[in-house]
Amino acid sequence: MQGTLLLTKAEIIRLRRNRRFLIFTIALPVVLYLIFAKQKATAYGVSFEAFYMVGMASFGAFSGAFNNNTIRISQERKDGWIRQLRLTPLPANAYVVAKIISSMVTTVPSIVIVLLLGRFYAGVHLEAWKWVAIGVTIWLGTLIFAALAVAVGYTFNPDSVQPVALVIYFFFVIFGGLWFPLSGGLKKFGEFTPTYQVVRISTDVVGSGAVSVAAVVGIAVWLVIFLSLATVAVRATAETV
Amino acid sequence: MSQEYASAPAGAHAGTQATATGTAHDGAAHTGASVVSFESVTKNYGNLRAVDGLSLNLWPGETVALLGPNGAGKSTSLDMLLALRKPTGGRIRMFGSDPYHAIKSGRVGAMLQSGGLMPEVTVRELVTLVAGLHPRPIPVETTLKRAGIAGFADQRVDRLSGGQTQRVRFALAIAGDSELIVLDEPTTAMDVETRRLFWANMKVEVAEGRTLLFATHYLEEADQAADRILVINRGRLLADGTPAEIKARAGAKRLSFRLDPVDEPFLLGLPGLVNLEVRHDLVQIQSTDSDATLYALLDAGYRPREIEVGSLGLEQAFLAITAEDDRANGDAHTGEAV
């Protein structure tokens, strides 16, 4: 476990030096929030400011956990860094565990910053427990997207991973309603995405406090699916990595 | 991990291939346990047999070169030794247990050709990380010096030249206090001076009692650095012995003379003959016993002219051994006159 933590620490150092990571996980959600948050409208039964706060925090967390990891994992598989790690006393699963933990650590700032903007820039007022609940919900969503990133990164080579990741990324951003609230037919379809479910649980907390059971079940199912896909993808490469 | 034994019984290990020279190394001289043992190990990739009944032992403190042409099965053998691939048949033991266990307990330091580095961190950060994963880490500054990378320790790993990268890989292999060091083509991409420095540093590691196994296709390197050379071709062990024994095995002497007329069938029957080449009236023979070869020729009444007897280098020995094997497998090179 100590070795896994050392590797996690190194992964966090790398992410902090990566400008692309900082732009997508922190700068972009913050800028979008500053530009679009203040609208006289409602979404999912809450004010637009509150919806967009949840949306942008999820957007940053999703970008941080998914975008970077897919490309890095695929590249590090090809470069032989994963092989190199297998020659050390590190446990076999340490690489994947370190990726997931480092994602969960590095997405915390983007979530916290957007929530702070919601409170102090857009004037969203909530009870203390609700702030904690939406922060934790979005943060746990990171785990789902990191698991998906592991599955994609282990399945596709660096040549093809970028377009594949981009398609999946925009699919979940748009059909999950991270950028704008879903309605009508789009919503019927988008309701099944994990990104929508994370936003929906959070807006339910902001509003009535009564959380949609379907969304909670949905998100648990997605977590199981993505973790299974990740496990299968990692095992499939055991002889070639 | 259930690995079946291949068809050859384990007792027949090293088999017919190595008996000529290799017996001394498997004999009574080594009373301790072997560091590494391959027992009739095979590896198939689909229909291709990359490793074919390989049996060998490494003993504590030895420096052993694994020598073979490209595609001989060197990398596959090392991959299996390092638990990166599973053998199709046979068994590999390291320190008496399975290789995975030995690696996870930090008894092995390894450097692969295909091993990559973590980008975006500095050389020092990377060496510190890998040392930290080891149960008995070596001080980072010592490792940086030994690998000759202290001069660029604060540079980022992704901004190094090929030779520098190679030395960082080496540093990762020696970052912990391991008993066995495994290096796959360690000096590729190094210039002559760096290579010399590399082997000087390597000698320090070995002098501390470590066992070293390295794969190479630089014969000079195997000749100078190794106590023992394993020649492999087509996934099989062809020769196992000291550099001197390997040279002897292939026909230590080169004998050449002019003879008119040439009687090839007679020449092929000469004692000690390993290889024969005839160009017009010029005859070149590789022989394990040049005296006997020459006496037999003279006793038969021949009077060759311009007789020259010389020693064979390791390179020629190596080529002779692998060419012999290739011929035995039915695809003789057209340039050779046997």
Q: Strand B180-184 to strand B108-111: parallel, antiparallel, or no bridges (unpaired)?
A: parallel
Structurally, how many domains does chain A consist of?
A: 1
B67 contacts: CB under 8 Å, gap ≥ 6: B215, B216, B217, B219, B222, B229, B230, B231, B232, B318
Shared domain check, B263 and B158: no
Asked if residue A39 belongs to a domain, the reply is: yes
**Final residue before a domain boundary, out of B214, B247, B280:** B247
CA distance A197 to A177: 10
Q: Helix or strand or coil: residue A239?
A: coil
Please give, rounded to a whole number of angstroms, the shortest distance from the CA of B85 to a CA of chain A.
5
- The pLDDT score that the predictor gives to residue B318 is 77
pLDDT in tens, B203-232: 888 998 999 999 987 777 888 899 999 999
- The pLDDT score that the predictor gives to residue B16 is 36
Is residue B271 within 8 Å of B236, Cβ to Cβ?
no
Provide, rounded to the nearest whole percent, the portion of chain B with pLDDT above 90.
49
What does residue B201 show for φ and ψ, rounded to 5 degrees? -70, -35
Q: Do B134 and A86 touch (CB under 8 A)?
A: no
The two three-digit tokens of residue B37, written as one number: 């043992």
Q: Using the structure block, give the residue that is written with the tokens 């000096």.
A: B187
Mutate to test the interface with B, among A77, A85, A88, A102 (most CBs of B within 10 A): A88
The two three-digit tokens of residue B320, written as one number: 């002779």
Asked if residue B284 belongs to a domain, the reply is: yes
Q: Residues of A with CB below 8 A from B134's CB?
A: 88-89
Mean predicted lDDT score pLDDT of chain A: 93
* pLDDT at A51 exceeding the cut of 80: yes
* pLDDT at A11 exceeding the cut of 90: yes
* pLDDT at B335 exceeding the cut of 70: no
- The pLDDT score that the predictor gives to residue A120 is 96
Shared domain check, B234 and B283: no
The two three-digit tokens of residue A62, written as one number: 């999703």
The two three-digit tokens of residue B149, written as one number: 């990378």
Please give, rounded to a whole number of angstroms, the shortest distance from the CA of A8 to a CA of chain B.
10
Asked if residue B166 belongs to a domain, the reply is: yes
Chain A CB within 8 Å of residue B86 CB? yes
Q: Do A14 and B130 touch (CB under 8 A)?
A: no
B201 contacts: CB under 8 Å, gap ≥ 6: B146, B147, B148
Task: Please calculate the CA angle A158-B74-B66 and round it to the nearest 5 degrees.
Answer: 135
Closest CA to B103 of B53, B157, B36: B36
What does residue B218 show for φ and ψ, rounded to 5 degrees? -85, 110
Q: Helix or strand or coil: residue B58?
A: strand
Asked if residue B281 belongs to a domain, the reply is: yes
pLDDT band at B10 (very low <50, low <70, confident <90, very high): very low
Q: Using the structure block, give the residue that is written with the tokens 């017919």.
A: B16
Asked if residue B7 belongs to a domain, the reply is: no
Distance (Å) of CA B155 to CA A8, A80, B121: 21, 20, 8
Please state the three-class secondary structure of A66-133 as a single string. Answer: HHHHHHHHHHHHHHCHHHHHHCCCCCCCHHHHHHHHHHHHHCHHHHHHHHHHHHHCCCCCCCHHHHHH
Closest CA to B167 of B140, B192, B193, B187: B187
Is residue A80 within 8 Å of B112, Cβ to Cβ?
yes
* pLDDT at A135 exceeding the cut of 90: yes
Shared domain check, B239 and B130: yes
Q: Residues of B with CB below 8 A from A89's CB?
A: 103-106, 133-135, 176
Distance (Å) of CA A74 to CA A7, A68, A141: 18, 10, 22
pLDDT band at B122 (very low <50, low <70, confident <90, very high): very high
pLDDT in tens, A137-167: 999 999 999 999 999 999 999 999 999 999 9
Asked if residue B163 belongs to a domain, the reply is: yes
Residue of B nearest to A239 (CA): B85
- The pLDDT score that the predictor gives to residue A218 is 94
Chain A CB within 8 Å of residue B183 CB? no
Which residue of A7, A18, A86 is in closest CB contact with B129? A7
pLDDT in tens, B18-33: 333 344 444 445 667 8
- The pLDDT score that the predictor gives to residue B31 is 60
Shared domain check, B202 and B103: yes
Is residue A58 within 8 Å of A202, Cβ to Cβ?
yes
Report which of residues B127 and B32 the model is more confident about. B127
Of the listed ranges A137-146, A181-190, B70-79, B328-337, the least confidently predicted one is: B328-337
* pLDDT at A44 exceeding the cut of 80: yes
Q: Residues of A with CB below 8 A from B123's CB?
A: none
* pLDDT at B87 exceeding the cut of 70: yes
**Final residue before a domain boundary, out of B221, B247, B273:** B247
What does residue A181 show for φ and ψ, rounded to 5 degrees? -65, 145
Asked if residue A105 belongs to a domain, the reply is: yes
Please give, rounded to a whole number of angstroms, the shortest distance from the CA of A59 to a CA of chain B.
25
pLDDT band at B113 (very low <50, low <70, confident <90, very high): confident
CATH code of residue B215: 3.40.50.300
Of the listed ranges A188-192, B191-195, B332-336, the least confidently predicted one is: B332-336
pLDDT in tens, A84-126: 999 999 998 899 999 999 999 999 999 999 999 999 999 999 9
Provide, rounded to the nearest whole percent, the portion of chain B with pLDDT above 70.
87
Torsion of CA B39, B45, B50, B53, to 10 degrees: 30
Shared domain check, B238 and B137: yes
Asked if residue A24 belongs to a domain, the reply is: yes
Asked if residue B142 belongs to a domain, the reply is: yes
Asked if residue A241 belongs to a domain, the reply is: no
Report which of residues B27 and B35 the model is more confident about. B35
Is residue B248 within 8 Å of B225, Cβ to Cβ?
no
Please give, rounded to a whole number of angstroms, the shortest distance from the CA of A178 to a CA of chain B.
31
Mean predicted lDDT score pLDDT of chain B: 84
Is residue A53 within 8 Å of A110, Cβ to Cβ?
no
Is residue A53 within 8 Å of A117, Cβ to Cβ?
yes
Structurally, how many domains does chain B consist of?
A: 2
Please give, rounded to a whole number of angstroms, the shortest distance from the CA of A77 to a CA of chain B.
9
Q: Do B120 and A17 touch (CB under 8 A)?
A: yes
Shared domain check, B298 and B222: no
Asked if residue B4 belongs to a domain, the reply is: no
The two three-digit tokens of residue A39, written as one number: 């609208």
**Burial bucket for residue A119 (CB in 10 Å: 0-12, 13-18, 19+):** middle
Shared domain check, B233 and B161: yes
- The pLDDT score that the predictor gives to residue B102 is 94
Closest CA to B143 of B135, B132, B131: B131
Distance of CA B47 to the CA centre of its chain: 25
Shared domain check, B265 and B232: no
Q: Angle of helix A108-120 relative to helix A48-62, nearest 10 degrees?
A: 170
Q: Tell me the residue range of the domain where B155 lies.
A: 60-84+99-247
What does residue B174 show for φ and ψ, rounded to 5 degrees? -110, 15
Chain A CB within 8 Å of residue B134 CB? yes
- The pLDDT score that the predictor gives to residue A240 is 67
Q: Residues of B with CB below 8 A from A91's CB?
A: 104
Which residue of B105, B108, B116 is in closest CB contact with A84? B116
Q: Residues of B with CB below 8 A from A241's CB?
A: 84
Asked if residue B277 belongs to a domain, the reply is: yes
What does residue A12 show for φ and ψ, rounded to 5 degrees? -70, -40
* Mean pLDDT calculated for residue range B75-104: 94
- The pLDDT score that the predictor gives to residue B190 is 81
pTM of the model: 0.81
Q: Tell me the residue range of the domain where A91 lies.
A: 2-236
Q: What sign has the CA pseudo-torsion B59, B60, B64, B66? A: positive
Is residue A147 within 8 Å of A232, Cβ to Cβ?
no
Closest CA to A98 of A116, A85, A80, A87: A85
CATH code of residue B270: 3.30.70
Q: Do B114 and A239 touch (CB under 8 A)?
A: no
Asked if residue A153 belongs to a domain, the reply is: yes
